[in-house]
Structure 1
């Protein structure tokens, strides 16, 4: 794959650093080599990278044509069997399309995540019921409040099914004729009428399944059986965790698959919402509704122990975990704050800022984005104190920290975003891209950085690696 930029592209960031930059003295900034690792004329999105150098992304492909992919209206509305979304992996300079030749799939695969040498993602299968891991969702007793709600709104909980309209639905008998059109009465308020409410909550068709791939095994393993809405997978060497929908108006449960197991494990059993899993090693964290607000929970794959980390009167959300340390977004007031938990001690690490969100954690260090009364900036907690990493007049967003590097997307020229890197070993920031395209959502691990670039002929994946010493 050719280099999209010059072999060594290095530009010192045009940003002001408070505190850290002054420590650098005369140290030289780390240099990076930037390569394109996907098809530049394709439609590659959402890259992720693990500490082993495994990169995965989602790529769209269409029927042949001369029009650039990003200009094609059929990217979103293509005839059946003409649009695909596949999962591509890259490791040690080699690219592999994991899903292109698997005849079990419909051609729709999305949202890859990686951990170690494993990938998990969402995929739509042609067969909706067979070949997944054995699993039956446990159902708790309904409270009196839930029973009363179902009694008051029966059509929302169990709406009548329409006449069969598809070949599959009509196989058992002749399809019923379409009903006569109705003219609904004018609504008394701006709310939806009952017919539209039924339409909103009716089954929307087959949902995605969770798929697992390990480079050592070399095969796609279907973990779920297409019978519910599964989403938000996370993966590590310990296994996979994901959300499983109970069905409206009830929420999600958290389900896990320990690596090499032959069954799924339901970790929560309630009628509330369990969301935003994050997994590192054996530690899984997520937010769960306790009946009053969201709290943070931790589950260990190795011991099976579940622990409630927070117990307060406000929402705690979006946790991230690394080796026993957890960071999350809390809402003690209307302003979002970043909290840090280690060895049983809780600490608020955001200070005098608003909209503190998107935390990323590594070895007790945390980065996040926050509003400083002017724009969005990047903040860094080094384990002892919080430092404002950027201070400028444009937005800095989506920070990630891993293996001694911090990366983020920055609207340096207030036009399109560029990718920044900050090396914790020399405390110098460098700008990795300098173009007229949107470079966004960087991820880092193992000293490398990947991101997506929306170019003139499509979107593609870029990788920055430290340049070899002269």
Structure 2
């Protein structure tokens, strides 16, 4: 009797596959998504701190820095120089960026939102350059070639003094800062370092030089970065200074890159859905979920608390968007089953409805029989495979096609 019913369901599903391949619903954009700014110009490299978001914008024929205030819903142009200003970073009342007003070699400038004044905090000369600034509190870090090679320098906004953090290595780049912690990559040795500003001395080698770490970020002693595994694929890794534990957060065979971290949330760019989307890992629940699923690519993320800003290329020009990370409802045991459903490919959708750790035809049958119950009792986003905001037959068809 059960086999006969399963056979009938299979026939129904096959017909649904035929019907639903004619009209497929496009995935919806990320929940709670907000478009930032007033222009449709090319935008890039957003950074967020509290209610303020900065980015680079080419609406004036060159790259300028703009600011959006979420509290007042107002936009402010920060730079007016006719040359390019790029790669901004914001923390509180301070904004820093790369500035090309003195030639092809960039320098670092700082803007004070309280006094509405800017000042140059590094000098490139004819041959040197300063790039990749990052600010947190009253400290700015950046890479500087003033010694003929790359070192990480720090500028103290209060004392207006700058210093080299570590000159033992001569090829340092990709700095990031959070409070007392600074991280960077040694280009020659492929080692990721964690440095304590107050302690000084030698930095901690987070990696051993046998891999290819890149794009590090740090928050409260926890470091995340992308590293190459399984050939050309990159995964997201975490190091916790408090415990000394290092672990791979995303052991799935796709390419993950450019992680950012704030509190217990790690966000990165992932191509497992065919386009570059943002995914989130909760360090408390140890759950990975898909954060954005817009029609284009999402990348260049910045995070502060539960707000994530990023670039999305869905339109004519790449634009800055923001999504808010709320508490994500977790699935419950499906009616008639004994185990929690699982997300076998970590895309935020729970295709393993019977909780046996694999997607099989029984999951499709359960979905077919319990469609109404799932729509009433489960978090819709966890089973909405076509992204139309509801549970329907097309979701069942998509699970069937995944087998």
Query: Structure 2-normalised TM-score?
Result: 0.62
1:466 partnered with 2:314 = no
2:123 paired residue number: 269
CA–CA separation in structure 1 for the residues paired with 2:168 and 2:326: 43
Matched, 1:229 2:163: no
The structure, 1 or 2, with the larger RCO (C-alpha pairs under 8 Å, 6+ apart) is 1
Please, which of 13, 31, 38 is the counterpart of residue 35 of structure 1? 31
Instruction: Give the direction of change, closer, same or farther, for the CA distance of 1:352–1:274 in structure 2 (3 Å limit).
Output: closer
Aligned partner of 2:269 in structure 1 is: 409
The structure 2 residue matched to 1:208, chosen from 63, 76, 86, is 63
Q: Relative to structure 1, is the Cα distance of residues 449 and 466 closer, same or farther in structure 2, using a 3 angstrom cutoff?
A: farther
Quick check: 2:42–2:318 contact (8 Å CA) kept in 1? no
1:308 corresponds to 2:164: yes
Matches of 1:232 and 1:212 in 2, distance apart? 13
Structure (1/2) with the larger helix percentage: 2
217-226 or 275-284, larger mean C-alpha shift = 217-226
Deviations 1:38-87 (A, max 9, x none): 5xxxxxxxxxxxxxxxxxxxxxxxxxxxxxxxxxxxxxxxxxxxxxxxxx
**Structure-to-structure mapping, 1:66-465, within 5 angstroms:** 88-89=35-36, 97-99=37-39, 111-123=45-57, 207-215=62-70, 220-245=75-100, 247-248=102-103, 251-271=105-125, 272-333=128-189, 336-342=190-196, 343-344=199-200, 345-351=202-208, 353-374=210-231, 375-383=233-241, 384-412=244-272, 415-432=274-291, 438=297, 440-449=299-308, 463=323, 464-465=325-326
Structure 1: distance between partners of 2:302 and 2:135: 16
User: Which segments of 5 or more consecutive residues in structure 2 lack a partner in the other structure?
Assistant: 1-25, 331-378, 380-403
Structure 1 unaligned spans of 5+: 7-32, 39-87, 90-96, 101-106, 127-205
* Offset of residue 282 of structure 1: 1.6
Let me know the Cα RMSD of the aligned residues: 3.7
Give the whole-Å Cα distance in 1 for the aligned partners of 2:303 and 2:280: 10
* CA positional deviation for 1:276: 0.2
Counterparts of 1:227 and 1:455 in 2: how far apart (Å)?
28
Structure 1 residue 279: deviation in Å? 1.2
When residues 462 and 221 of structure 1 are mapped into structure 2, their CA distance, relative to the original with a 3 A threshold, is closer
Q: When you count strand as a share of all residues, which structure comes out higher? A: 1
What is the aligned residue count? 297
- Give per-residue Cα distances to partners, 1:7-43, cap 9 Å, x unaligned: xxxxxxxxxxxxxxxxxxxxxxxxxx951525xxxxx
Structure 2 counterpart SS, 1:350? coil
Given that residues 438 and 453 in structure 1 are in contact (C-alpha distance below 8 angstroms), is that contact kept between their aligned partners in structure 2?
yes
**Superimposed CA distance per residue, residues 227-250 of structure 1 (whole angstroms, 9 cap, x where no aligned partner):** 4332222222132112222555x5
**Contact 1:422/1:428 (8 A) holds in 2:** yes
TM-score by length of 1: 0.54
Cα distance in 2 between the residues matched to 1:411 and 1:376:
11
- How has the CA–CA distance of structure 1 residues 406 and 251 changed in structure 2, closer, same or farther, with 3 Å as cutoff? same
1:380: Cα distance to partner? 0.7
SS of residue paired to 1:391: coil
The 8 Å contact of residues 349 and 385 in structure 1, kept in 2 or not, is answered as: no
Query: Does the CA-based 8 Å contact 1:239-1:259 persist in structure 2?
Result: yes
1:7-22 aligned within 5 A: none
